[in-house]
Amino acid sequence: MKLSSILNPNLILNLDVEGGRQAIYEAIASKMIAKTGLELKPEELAEQMSHREDSVMIPYDGVALPHLRLHQIEDLYVSVAILKEPVTLKEHDTAPCRIVIMSLISENTSDTYLKMLTAFARYLDIPENFEKISKCSSAEEVLAHLDKDDIHLKKDITAEDIMSHNTEPVTPETPLQEALDRFVRDRTARLPVVDANGIFIGMIEAAEVIHRSIPEYLFMMKHVDFLSNFEPFNKIFNEEYTQTVKDYITPAKKTILPSASLIQFTISLVRGEAQTIVVVDENKKYQGMISIEDIMSKILRG
């Protein structure tokens, strides 16, 4: 199914609105209601969308994705608004927004919505495509670009749609000090390790680094409440300047291909087969990682 086929040309807008997020969302919602005949109040829709965004704190980077699931509608309504001037909608956004993709989702259209969102996200993530769409002056021009670039809704949501790219891999030669810094900077407890060609080797995990600094006999003790020794941490402080990642590499518990289906890796995560699943291509090159947090933020909270 072509992405253009589920878009209503009457809901592809060029918008010139003064004000911030509430004014922009309300203007788009007003157009949606006027063009579809929905009996909804634009100011309430805008307020609810803003409240949801503030509650999940997901930053936008040039493209805003406000949405609501509503029991009183029976279809998926999508509006694509191209703003005349970039606007920072939320204070924690990483870049001002030029494009707003607003969705009203019925109880039975979540699957189509997620596939639509995935198609847009993959397409607009390419700077050239983002620039093309943000400079369009009509609905016809937007739809023509999507058709020319052959943008389709995928049959299934897969690992490549959900995986996170924000954790860059380290190499075996990376100093341990740098890896410890990366744990904090990237807010993660594990980092992928690749060779010089990007081939996935294994993981370095914060828990494993700490584990190896603690004498094994302490793990055999049932009660450790009486311990107060700081020695294991001093050991890490002393060795982080001389050791490298290769001293701490462990195998990944699970790897999957980018084509793996959503239900497949979700079940693996829920079963506890791995806390983080590594995505590699057919040549074992590292592509990204998936955790239950990605399922929560990208599927359950769009």
Is the distance from CB of 142 to CB of 133 less than 8 angstroms? yes
Q: What is the pLDDT of residue 152?
A: 94
Local confidence band at 212 (pLDDT 50, 70, 90 cut-offs): confident
* Class of CATH domain 3-155: alpha beta
Lookup result for tokens 């911030």: 20
Q: Write the CA distances from 266 to 37, 69, 163, 290, 291, integer angstroms.
A: 38, 22, 12, 9, 9
What's the pLDDT tens digit per position in 70-87?
A: 999 999 999 999 999 999
Q: Where are the domains of the chain?
A: 3-155, 176-300
Classified as helix, coil or strand, 15 is: strand
Q: What is the pLDDT of residue 18?
A: 87
pLDDT at 219 over 90: no
pLDDT at 278 over 80: yes
Is the distance from CB of 28 to CB of 89 less than 8 angstroms? no
| Mean confidence (pLDDT) of the chain | 91
Could you say which DSSP state residue 231 is in?
H
Q: Which fold has domain 176-300?
A: CBS-domain (3.10.580)
